[in-house]
Amino acid sequence: MTLLSILGVLSSAIFSGTSLLYTTLGEVIDERAGIVNLGLEGVLLVSASSGFAVTYLSGNPYLGILVSILAGGLMNMILGYLVITRKANQLASGLALMFFGFGLSALIGKSFVGDKIHSLTRFLLPGLKNLPLLYTSLFKFDILIYLVIPVAILVWWLLYRTRWGLGVRAVGENADTAFASGRNPHLIRYQALFVGGMLVGLGAAHLSIAYTMNWTEYMTAGRGFIAVALVIFSKWHPLRAIVGALVFSGAVAFQLLLQSSGVKVSPFLLDTIPYILTLVVLIAWGGNRKHSAPASLGRVYQGSE
């Protein structure tokens, strides 16, 4: 096991973890406003397929990313209509959104399976130029990877340092109180869902446009559900989400490392490590979990007439 192979694994962990972190941040905003979005899988798929399609057709990855972001926001609006305006059950609506995403993304991506695209350029951070070529090739990242930590900080700033964020958190804790203090819970929840959806779209854009650079049906393979778990893991906090995504991708990387170093363990069992690790951490933190969850998460705000 050489340093190079370890760095290689680390690099691939960063690549696969980025979309996960964007998605988790999006879900943090949704859930802070009191809405569980179980349909992340579907949102990711629709964003990934539409972004990929636009990138392929236009040849411009930035246009593709923009479309992904918009698609994510719009997909979340469907959920918003169901759970905010029609007051439907959040878990069931989320799963319905997931099925919708399975179908719609298959339809959008149908004619793009196997196509190649011009992706984002990958570049080194200045200061790393002196490293040997073998190493620099591993640490050339695209702009979305460099932006992910700043975006996490931005989300933290939005939620904890702005009036809008205060409104979102207030609605997530107690929509009645928020209403009594002059806020519009419905509007705020829609806004939070839209912003959250845009972040999920960004994650999807990184997945299909920058990382895998192709489209296959059901390419997200459970990322949406992992993000839902990571939100709880990070206790609904955007900065802790960074840690969560790191731990999860680190576990994935560790598993890749074990495989590459020839340890005779079934790759299927190694694949379960990240999930089991997440579960173990949830259990370890379980005791004080209740105090950090938004109080009216999953509840329907009935309005105040």
Partner 1 sequence: MSQPTETVTHFPVFQYKAIQSTVRYLLMILFALLMFGLILLISGKDPIQSYKDIFTSTLGSSYGFSEVIVAMIPMLITALAVALPSRVGLINVGGEGQLYIGAAFATFGALTFSNLPGWFLLPLMVLLGMLGGALWAFIPGYLKSIGLVNETITTLLLNSVAPKIIGFLIFGFWHSPMDTVKTANFVAAAKLPSFFGTRIHLGLIFGLILLIIFWLVMKYTRWGLEMRAIGSNPQAAKRNGLPLSKYLVVIMCIGGAIAGLAGMVQVSGFYGTLFLNFSMSLGFMGFMICWLAGGEPLGIILMSFVVAVITTGGNLLQLTRDLPYAVINILLAFTLFIVLARPSFFKGKTP
Q: For partner 1, which is the closer residue by CB, 75 or 152?
A: 75
Q: Provide the 3-class DSSP secondary structure of residue 123.
A: strand
Residues 172 and 33 sit within 8 Å (Cβ to Cβ) = yes
Q: For partner 1, which is the closer residue by CB, 57 or 153?
A: 57
CB 74 → partner 1: shortest distance, Å? Answer: 14
Distance, in Å, from the CA atom of 202 to the CA atom of 227, rounded to the nearest integer, reads 14
3-state secondary structure 39-97: CHHHHHHHHHHHHHHHHHHHCCHHHHHHHHHHHHHHHHHHHHHHHHHCCCCHHHHHHHH
Q: Where are the alpha helices (DSSP H) in 181-237?
A: 185-205, 223-233
Distance, in Å, from the CA atom of 214 to the CA atom of 284, rounded to the nearest integer, reads 38
Q: For partner 1, which is the closer residue by CB, 126 or 305?
A: 305
Distance, in Å, from the CA atom of 8 to the CA atom of 28, rounded to the nearest integer, reads 30
Residues 159 and 32 sit within 8 Å (Cβ to Cβ) = yes
**CB neighbours of residue 135 within 10 Å:** 15
CB 26 → partner 1: shortest distance, Å? Answer: 17
CB 126 → partner 1: shortest distance, Å? Answer: 39
For 137, which DSSP code?
G
CB 14 → partner 1: shortest distance, Å? Answer: 22
Q: For partner 1, which is the closer residue by CB, 105 or 191?
A: 105
Rule CB under 8 A: which residues touch partner 1? Answer: 38, 78, 81-82, 86, 88-93, 95-100, 102-107, 110, 174-176, 180, 217-218, 222, 225-226, 228-229, 232, 266, 268-269, 271-272, 275-276, 278-279, 282-283, 286-287, 289, 296, 298-304
- DSSP string covering 106-152: HHHHGGGTT--------BPPTT-TTS-HHHHGGG-B-HHHHHHHHHH
Q: For partner 1, which is the closer residue by CB, 112 or 194?
A: 112
CB 105 → partner 1: shortest distance, Å? Answer: 8
CB 146 → partner 1: shortest distance, Å? Answer: 29
Q: For partner 1, which is the closer residue by CB, 250 or 298?
A: 298
